[in-house]
Structure 1
């Protein structure tokens, strides 16, 4: 399993909204400035489906990150299963005006684990930057 985490200086309701609403997801869901997320659908409920199209801005790489939620507890946890049957979760630990976000997921077999960890840490770091700036 791979674990990435960050602490966001914002209240939990704002963090949850920015993490789950498609227009916000498009604003932060990229590991570096070379990437973007041109399409998002996100049905945040048990058995709800999600799909994020992630791509490099030069269009040399593009993929869909998609699956469905297996458990949704608002302000606490999102558990999911991807279309390739890998599982993961995002936990939200709120204290005062800070939220610790911990994402744990099964790596794929195509890419080096360290590369996957760096990619996802870049995404979660970008979320922190986006949430604190908006």
Structure 2
């Protein structure tokens, strides 16, 4: 991954890594946490978590005014440690999971796109990561 074209977001989750891994990868959980704001939702998440496996979900405004499909193909999977994938548009994403004293650190690095400002991209991905953290800590 070209780090000059990459953005990294991080969070700490007050949960053991096994619980974090489960919620990160379970389609029913993904439908609950994968949104950048309360007025958006993810529906119809599918996840084949293996190298060469595909994932997809529909992200949309709750009022139906806009939405988009998000998906890709896994290029590396190490259970409870690491996921890498290539999005449908070709950009790469890497996610590292590390347990630290009963907490789980998540570091997500993605190649930025050219249509939106970097701060908007960073903010959106960080908001989704924080939504994941809140969901996992409360479920």
1:40 to 38, 41, 45: 45
Structure 2, unaligned runs of 5 or more: 1-5
SS in 2 for 1:27: helix
How many equivalent pairs are there? 134
Kindly report the root-mean-square deviation, in angstroms, between the aligned alpha carbons of the 2 structures.
Answer: 0.7
Distance in structure 1 (CA, Å) of the matches to 2:118 and 2:92: 15
Q: Deviations over 1:62-121 (max 9, x none)?
A: 111111000000000000001111001111011221000010001111111111110110
2:126 aligned with 1:133: no
Question: Match for residue 24 of structure 2?
Answer: 19
2:70 aligned with 1:83: no
Structure 1, unaligned runs of 5 or more: none
TM-score by length of 2: 0.94
Query: Mean Cα displacement is larger for which, 22-31 or 109-118?
Result: 109-118
2:106 aligned with 1:106: no
2:52 aligned with 1:52: no
Distance in structure 2 (CA, Å) of the matches to 1:14 and 1:96: 14
Question: Match for residue 122 of structure 1?
Answer: 127
Which runs of at least 4 in structure 1 moved beyond 3 Å after TM superposition?
Answer: none
1:95 to 83, 94, 100: 100
TM-score by length of 1: 0.97
